[in-house]
Amino acid sequence: MESRLGGALSEANMRQRLEAEGYSVSRYVYPPGTCFPEHSHGVDKKDTVLEGRLRITSEGKEFILEPGDIIEIPAQTPHTADVVGKEGVVSFDATRPAKKGK
């Protein structure tokens, strides 16, 4: 897990960083109480929190992401996600196409 970007946290800066790494970026807003049961994705992805707190659980480990935190989730990795606390979450879901031959 990567955490705490250097410099000012802004949507524009975060989007620019992720796109420079080759990711397609989508912005999501999740209200308090949002919970995603265990699932996986067919592509490598990074979840980034801009506002609020998001808990990601994967491979027996729990990560609490706060503004500026990024977690990388490789393709086919089972994980859960849920909003922590009474504040909603604004996040970027960044995906990168699978490499050829995979």
Domain limits, the chain: 11-96
Class of domain 11-96: mainly beta
Q: What pLDDT shows up at residue 98? A: 66
Q: What pLDDT shows up at residue 96? A: 87
Q: What pLDDT shows up at residue 2? A: 40
Residue 62 has pLDDT above 80, yes or no: yes
pTM metric for this prediction = 0.84
Q: What pLDDT shows up at residue 1? A: 36
Residue 46 and residue 82: Cα distance in Å, rounded?
15
- The encoded tokens of residue 75 equal 């393709």
Q: What pLDDT shows up at residue 101? A: 55
Please report, as a single letter, which amino acid is at residue 2: E
DSSP string, 37-81: EEE--SSEEEEEEEES-EEEEETTEEEEE-TT-EEEE-TT--EEE
